Structure 1
Amino acid sequence: MQLSDHLALENIAVDLPFVSKHKLLRQLADMSSLKSGIDAGIIAKALLARENLGSTGIGRGIAIPHALIEGLPKSLALVARLARPIDFEAVDDIPVDIVVLLLSPASGQGQNLNILSCIARQLRDDHTVGAIRAARSAEEVFVLLTRS
């Protein structure tokens, strides 16, 4: 499974302005709604419910918020590199500046786990993460995340 199967270049935002975790999740829900046709309120509610179970901040300034969404036809990934890190209540307490959002159909929990694993694999490499932080464009981030 390749991340490029679920991530399109136009779903990458570089240097999003500073916001809170809550506002960021709502902003990502709005962006996802435009791409998926699913109501932003439904997406935001699912993301916030998942965050209430425990932060999706995995450490090293990275968060992977994710949710299963009823009616979503196929998985959708969005990437946001923030202009300034925000408190995401991450496991290591390091503020987050790289966010990879994953939405998957409610019926596709196995696929959701496979895609999450693919994302985590790409982001465990310190060189890749550093290059994402240094990237000047969405195109550069896309290449870094989708290369094999």
Structure 2
Amino acid sequence: MQLSEILQSNAVKSIASCTSKKRLFHDIGEMAETCYGLKLSAVIDALIERENLGPTGVGHGVALPHARLAGVDEVKGIFLRLEKPLNFDAVDRQPVDLVFALIAPENAGVDHLKALALVSRTFRSPSICAKLRANSDPVTLFTILTSVGSSQAA
């Protein structure tokens, strides 16, 4: 699996300001609706429900919110670069500025786990995170993410 298989170019965005997790999940939901035709409220509710089980801020300024959703046919990705870091209750207590959300089919099983592992490995690279933080253009961000994904097999 490669990031280019789960992430569309229009599902990448840089956001100037985001004031809360709830607002961030709303932004993710809007992108999921626009890019993938998913229902806004269903995406928001699923992300909040998953987040209530435990924070998805994995540390080093990265969050990987994810959820399973009925009616989704394959794993979908959304990337947001926050210009102003957001408190996300991350494990290292650092604010988050790189967010990769995954929306998976309700019964995705192994595909959901493979996608989550791929994204996690990608964002463990300090050089990739530095490149993402140094750019705000969505096309450039997409290129960084998808060129990395093609060199790592899940």
Q: TM-score, normalised by structure 2?
A: 0.92
Shift of 1:30: 1.8
Match in the other structure for 2:93: 93
Of 59-68 and 8-17, the range deviating more from structure 2: 8-17
Superposition map of 1:11-30 within 5 A: 11-30=11-30
**Sequence identity (%):** 33
2:51 aligned partner, one-letter code? E
Match in the other structure for 1:117: 117
Cα deviation code 1:18-45 (max 9, x no counterpart)? 3211111112112112222222111111
Separation (CA, whole Å) in 1 of partners of 2:16 and 2:37: 22
SS at match of 2:14: strand
Match in the other structure for 2:42: 42
Separation (CA, whole Å) in 2 of partners of 1:15 and 1:107: 31
Shift of 1:141: 1.3
| Runs of at least 5 residues in structure 1 that lack an aligned partner in the other structure | none
Shift of 1:15: 3.2
Superposition map of 1:72-91 within 5 A: 72-91=72-91
Of 8-17 and 92-101, the range deviating more from structure 2: 8-17
Contact 1:132/1:144, CA 8 A, preserved across alignment: yes
Q: For this pair of structures, how many residues does the alignment match?
A: 148
SS at match of 1:94: coil
RMSD value over aligned CA atoms?
Answer: 1.1
Superposition map of 1:58-69 within 5 A: 58-69=58-69
Match in the other structure for 1:131: 131
| Runs of at least 5 residues in structure 2 that lack an aligned partner in the other structure | none
1:123 aligned partner, one-letter code? F
Contact 1:68/1:109, CA 8 A, preserved across alignment: no
Contact 1:50/1:66, CA 8 A, preserved across alignment: yes
Separation (CA, whole Å) in 2 of partners of 1:48 and 1:115: 20
